[in-house]
């Protein structure tokens, strides 16, 4: 039995003063109204109306139940109105996480524009170079780059990125353009950490292979490695978004493109597919539109 529907029918009967009048108001048949009332009384195990051949009247239990029904159905209506209002003008708190550099370049500006558009929203952007546990850390949505490991999350694709090797035009002019990844064995490569022999991964004839590279400069963060690469100090391997502005300005050039590994997906993920707040739905669609064509 649809309890809310039965409660509404009960209210209409009480307000109209008869089953027939209630049926007219509800644009329903008299038998349907009678069945709904009977089912409700059976479910509650009480008699809601005293019936005679000429009229019906509320029992004591019916009067108490009518007041409760009015309060409950009013609360339901208020909740539905609030949700509809939020869907058109989202409001409330939203926490989003993303990788640090990608977040700085794309997500933070997009969220700033989102808050400018929806003034009732309060957004907290958490930039992390680790995979956050959305549920445990109270995060509403996250941007993930690469294969997804947590199958309990709902994921929507935003695009893809490439892992590429780049160098400045000046460096390539001095040292030449490599034709195969093994040419990097004797080249100066800029590194992300102090590891003496990192391995860069490539793809050829349907199979992955690695090449050990060395260099005279390393950092534990990507931004200074990009800067060193732009300055012409060596080859660097980056995810495409990390060097996109420099490629667009011809400050860096892609090399060994045909040996790149397959593109890595970018997804927006969130914990639950059902009962998603309207503000989260609006934000997800906003980010999908913001990143269209960027990745």
Residues 250 and 167 in one domain: yes
Which of these ranges, 105-109, 129-133, 170-174, 196-200, has the smallest mean pLDDT? 196-200
- Is the model more confident about 28 or about 271? 28
Residues 176 and 205 in one domain: yes
- Residue where a domain terminates, one of 88, 107, 141: 88
For residue 151, pLDDT over 90 is answered with: no
Percent of the chain with pLDDT over 70: 93
For residue 236, pLDDT over 80 is answered with: yes
Residues 124 and 147 in one domain: yes
For residue 150, pLDDT over 80 is answered with: no
- Average the pLDDT over 273-294 and give the result: 83
Give the HSE-up count for residue 145: Cα atoms under 13 Å, Cβ half-sphere.
21
Residues 66 and 137 in one domain: no
Kindly give, in sequence order, each residue whose CB lies less than 8 Å from that of residue 21, ignoring residues fewer than 6 positions away. none
What is the CATH classification number for the domain harbouring 83? 1.10.10.10
For residue 102, pLDDT over 80 is answered with: yes
Residues 169 and 248 in one domain: yes
List, for residues 55-65, the tens digit of each pLDDT value.
788 999 999 99
Residues 136 and 255 in one domain: no
Q: In the predicted model, what is the mean pLDDT of the chain?
A: 89
Give the pLDDT of residue 175.
95
CA–chain centroid gap for 138, Å, is 14
- Residue where a domain terminates, one of 67, 88, 109: 88
Residues 253 and 168 in one domain: yes
Residues 268 and 151 in one domain: yes
How far is the first Cα of the chain from the last one, in angstroms, to the nearest whole number? 50
- Average the pLDDT over 228-255 and give the result: 96
What is the CATH classification number for the domain harbouring 250? 3.40.190.10
Give the pLDDT of residue 295.
56
- Average the pLDDT over 232-261 and give the result: 95
List, for residues 156-166, the tens digit of each pLDDT value.
999 999 999 99
Domain that holds residue 112: 92-161+264-291
Q: pLDDT-based confidence at 273, cuts 50/70/90?
A: low
Residues 114 and 79 in one domain: no
Residues 175 and 253 in one domain: yes
List, for residues 200-225, the tens digit of each pLDDT value.
999 999 999 999 999 999 998 888 99
For residue 2, pLDDT over 70 is answered with: yes
What is the number of structural domains in the chain? 3
Q: Are 227 and 218 in contact (CB under 8 A)?
A: no
DSSP 23-81: HHHHT--HHHHHHHHHHHHHHHTS--EEE-SS-EEE-HHHHHHHHHHHHHHHHHHHHHH
Q: Are 228 and 192 in contact (CB under 8 A)?
A: no
- Average the pLDDT over 129-151 and give the result: 86
- Residue where a domain terminates, one of 62, 88, 114: 88
Q: Starting from the edge strand earliest in sequence, which strands make up the sheet with 236-239, in order?
A: 236-239, 163-167, 253-255
For residue 68, pLDDT over 80 is answered with: yes
In the chain, DSSP finds a helix count (H) and a strand count (E) of 10, 12
Residues 177 and 117 in one domain: no
- Average the pLDDT over 251-256 and give the result: 98
Specify the pTM: 0.63
Residues 242 and 183 in one domain: yes
């Amino acid at each position: 039995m649809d309890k809310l529907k039965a409660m509404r029918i009960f209210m209409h009967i009480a307000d109209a003063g008869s089953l027939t009048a209630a049926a007219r108001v509800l644009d329903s048949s008299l038998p349907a109204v009678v069945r709904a009332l009977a089912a409700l009384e059976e479910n509650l195990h009480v008699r809601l109306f005293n019936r005679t051949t000429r009229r019906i009247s509320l029992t004591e239990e019916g009067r108490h139940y009518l007041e409760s029904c009015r309060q409950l159905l009013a609360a339901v209506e208020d909740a539905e109105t609030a949700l509809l209002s939020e869907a058109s003008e989202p409001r409330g708190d939203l926490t989003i996480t993303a990788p640090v550099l990608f977040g700085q370049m794309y997500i933070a500006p997009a969220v700033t524009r989102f808050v400018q558009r929806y003034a009732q929203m309060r957004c907290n952007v958490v930039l992390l170079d680790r995979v956050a546990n959305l549920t445990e850390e109270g995060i509403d949505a996250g941007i993930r780059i690469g294969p997804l490991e947590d199958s309990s999350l709902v994921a929507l694709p935003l695009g893809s990125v490439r892992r590429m090797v780049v160098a400045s035009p000046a460096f390539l002019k001095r040292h030449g353009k490599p034709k195969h990844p093994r040419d990097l064995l004797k080249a100066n490569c800029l590194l992300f950490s102090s590891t003496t022999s990192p391995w860069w991964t490539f793809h050829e004839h349907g199979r992955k292979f690695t090449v050990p590279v060395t260099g005279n400069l390393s950092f534990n963060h990507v931004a200074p490695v990009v800067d060193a690469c732009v300055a012409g100090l060596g080859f660097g391997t980056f995810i495409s978004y990390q060097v996109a502005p420099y490629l667009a300005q011809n400050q860096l050039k892609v090399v060994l493109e045909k040996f790149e590994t397959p593109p890595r997906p970018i997804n927006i993920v969130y914990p639950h597919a059902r009962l998603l707040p309207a503000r989260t739905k609006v934000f997800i669609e906003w980010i999908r539109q913001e990143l269209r064509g960027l990745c």
